[in-house]
């Protein structure tokens, strides 16, 4: 073969190979914008040179830090840092990512502790996630929502009896510092152990010691096996604290979209509001009432509106929200508490005066309300508490008069005596939830006057005796109550008989103790 022909053949082979390689590999053009940090401080960076950046977009800063676009101004972007600002300096390069903030979701998160961006905070190794959800998501359309009718039992007698919570509801917990707000939320999480409800606990702006105590309580009571913990502590950048409740809600929404029930606790939204106020003031947004930005109501409403129950034809499932808010000097008319009260479906108010009187949980029955009401209670429960709240309200009013030295008639004395029995029954230690069926048995016995002959200091002992006998002697009735069946007259009489028998045993033991002490004298 001539050299010219050989050269042409080799050239054709090379061009063919190059063509095949080009066809197999399609080059993609990646477009990004590069800007620079103008200034940085207090968790906020001002950036120039990114005209195509969008609100809510995540930016990458030279050195590995990330920031979230929150303000779009003429030629300058205000971004909140999602990492410590110690490695970010003026002049650092910044690039757009075209992505919004996301959080990992899935069953692999259960039992784990993460931050709002999905970074692992425990020692459980690599996170096994089913995917990632945007932190900010649209709420379920109204037409896809179902009425709230299935109870979510908290295990707290004062709550389940007077301010019941349903699956898909938003029930606010508010009160002064150190009144037991977090304890009620943790009780609710612990009580979901055998119910199939997946819980998400969001710690927002909390001290590391407070988060550690909450984790210890969940671990000791076996509740981490159905709980995801999202933490943005007080030492974290305010940008992470701002994202924490939205990330926790996205984690809970994954389970709702699988047709399951979820409970999400925001502890607490007052600190979230403080973090958002801090960011807004640094970004030079116009301050409003109490220096909060004008859109603070929208920030909380778009979060809590995502909690709902879905219709079966749209997948079923639900997300129940228990936001926590802190008041100052029992002022529930402050800006953030009133905002949250207007957004939610009711509130559980904890009174510091009751707390200091050792009446715990310190639920103020008069100021606490559930707008769903008895619709979310078991049938047997609804009948057991029919007149209980009225009797307790009358007692609270008469007790106030009795403190003034007013002489009361016999009927009023009986009302006060019954009210004090109810108060003793409502006392409950922290982290010791009571099953709903046992609560019904206790309330039926209480309404029938089973504890009327006992000294008040012996009512709790009689309660423990009643609960033990309920578990051992009428397990079938308890199972029927848990299934949502109505309490028949025969079952009611059996519960009353059992309650009176248990209270009678305690009364006899008390009498024997009194006689023994008198003989010893």
Q: What is the DSSP string of 372-403?
A: SGGGGS-HHHHHHTTTHHHHHHHHHHHHHHHH
> What does the pLDDT look like over 213-234, one tens digit per residue?
999 999 999 999 999 999 999 9
Number of H helices, E strands in the chain: 16, 16
Domain boundaries, the chain: 34-100, 103-377, 384-520
Using only C-alpha atoms, the chain has a radius of gyration, in whole angstroms, of: 30
Residue 208 has pLDDT above 70, yes or no: yes
**Mean pLDDT throughout 16-26?**
56
DSSP notation for 401-453: HHHTT----HHHHHHHHHHHHHHHHH---TT----HHHHHHHHHHHHTTTTTT
Full-model pTM: 0.90
What pLDDT is recorded for position 397?
83
Note the pLDDT of residue 374. 80
Give me the pLDDT at residue 185, please: 96
- Residue 17: the pLDDT is 59
pLDDT for residue 406 is more than 90? no
Q: Is the pLDDT of residue 7 over 60?
A: no
User: Does residue 279 contact residue 294 with C-beta atoms inside 8 Å?
Assistant: no
pLDDT in tens, 232-252: 999 999 999 999 999 999 999
Q: What is the DSSP string of 224-252?
A: GGGEEEEEE-TTS-HHHHHHHHHHHHHHH
Identify the architecture of domain 384-520 in CATH. Answer: Up-down Bundle (1.20)
How large is the angle between the packed helices 335-343 and 269-282, nearest 10 degrees?
Answer: 120
Which sequence positions are flagged as catalytic? Answer: 371
pLDDT at 207 exceeding the cut of 90: yes
Most trustworthy range by pLDDT among 26-35, 318-327, 401-410, 427-436 = 318-327
pLDDT at 444 over 70: yes
The pLDDT of 107-120, averaged and rounded, is 95
| pLDDT band at 352; cut points 50, 70, 90 | very high
pLDDT given for residue 8 in this prediction? 59
Region 8-24 average pLDDT: 58
Average pLDDT for the chain: 90
pLDDT at 187: 95
**For residue 413, what are its two tokens?**
């004395």
User: What integer pLDDT is reported at residue 465 of this predicted model?
Assistant: 92
Q: Classify 322 as helix, strand or coil.
A: strand
pLDDT at 376: 86
282-340: per-residue pLDDT in tens? 999 999 999 999 999 999 999 999 999 999 999 999 999 999 999 999 999 999 999 99
Residues 6+ apart with CB under 8 A from 72: 53, 54, 55, 78
The second-level CATH assignment, the architecture, of 103-377 is 3-Layer(aba) Sandwich (3.40)
Percent of the chain with pLDDT over 90: 68
With cut-offs at 50, 70 and 90, classify the pLDDT of residue 194: confident
Pairing mode of beta strands 34-41, 318-326: unpaired
- Phi, then psi, of 72 in degrees rounded to 5: -115, 110
Fold of 34-100: Elongation Factor Tu (Ef-tu); domain 3 (2.40.30)
pLDDT digits (tens, 9 = 90+) for 124-175: 888 999 999 999 999 999 999 999 999 999 999 999 999 999 999 999 999 9
Would you place residue 400 in the very low, low, confident or very high pLDDT band (cuts 50, 70, 90)?
Answer: confident
Tell me which of 515 and 179 has the higher pLDDT.
179
């Amino acid at each position: 073969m001539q050299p010219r022909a050989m050269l042409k053949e080799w050239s054709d082979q090379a061009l063919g190979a190059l063509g095949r390689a080009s066809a197999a590999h399609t080059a993609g053009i990646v477009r990004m914008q590069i800007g620079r940090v103008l200034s940085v401080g207090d968790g906020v960076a001002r950036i120039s040179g990114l005209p195509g950046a969008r609100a809510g977009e995540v930016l990458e800063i030279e050195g590995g830090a990330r920031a979230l676009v929150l303000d779009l101004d003429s030629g300058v972007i205000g971004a909140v840092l999602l990492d410590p600002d110690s490695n970010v300096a003026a002049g650092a390069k910044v690039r757009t990512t075209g992505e919004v903030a996301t959080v990992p979701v899935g069953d692999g998160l259960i039992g784990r502790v993460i931050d709002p961006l999905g970074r692992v905070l425990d020692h459980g190794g690599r996170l096994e996630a089913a995917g990632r959800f945007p932190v900010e998501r649209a709420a379920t359309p109204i037409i896809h929502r179902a009425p709230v009718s299935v109870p979510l039992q908290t295990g707290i007698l004062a709550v389940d009896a007077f301010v019941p919570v349903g699956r898909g509801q938003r029930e606010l917990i508010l009160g002064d510092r150190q009144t037991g707000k977090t304890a009620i939320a943790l009780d609710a999480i612990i009580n979901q152990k055998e119910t199939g409800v997946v819980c998400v606990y969001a710690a927002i702006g909390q001290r590391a010691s407070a988060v550690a105590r909450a984790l210890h309580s969940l671990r000791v009571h076996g509740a981490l096996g159905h709980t995801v913990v999202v933490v943005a502590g007080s030492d974290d950048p305010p940008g992470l604290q701002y994202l924490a409740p939205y990330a926790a809600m996205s984690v809970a929404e994954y389970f709702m979209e699988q047709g399951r029930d979820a409970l999400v606790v925001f502890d607490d939204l007052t600190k979230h509001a403080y973090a958002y106020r801090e960011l807004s003031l640094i970004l030079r947004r116009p301050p409003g009432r109490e220096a909060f930005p004008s859109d603070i109501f929208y920030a909380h409403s778009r979060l809590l509106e995502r909690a709902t129950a879905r219709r079966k034809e749209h997948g079923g499932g639900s997300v129940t929200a228990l936001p926590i808010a802190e008041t100052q000097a029992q002022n529930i008319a402050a800006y953030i508490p009133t905002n949250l009260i207007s957004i939610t479906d009711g509130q559980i108010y904890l009174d510091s005066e009751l707390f200091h009187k050792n009446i715990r949980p310190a639920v103020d029955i008069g100021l606490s309300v559930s707008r769903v009401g008895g619709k979310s209670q078991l049938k047997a429960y609804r009948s057991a508490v029919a007149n209980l709240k009225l009797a307790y309200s009358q007692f609270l009013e008469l007790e106030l008069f009795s403190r003034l030295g007013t002489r009361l008639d016999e009927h009023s004395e009986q009302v006060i005596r019954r009210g004090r029995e109810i108060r003793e029954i409502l006392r409950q230690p922290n982290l010791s939830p009571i099953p709903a069926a046992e609560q019904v048995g206790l309330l039926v016995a209480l309404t029938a006057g089973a504890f009327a002959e006992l000294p008040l200091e012996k009512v709790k002992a009689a309660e423990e005796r009643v609960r033990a006998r309920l578990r051992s002697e009428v397990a079938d009735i308890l199972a029927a109550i848990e299934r949502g069946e109505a309490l028949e007259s025969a079952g009611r009489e059996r519960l009353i008989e059992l309650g009176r028998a248990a209270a009678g045993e305690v009364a006899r033991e008390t009498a024997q103790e009194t006689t023994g002490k008198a003989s010893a004298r």
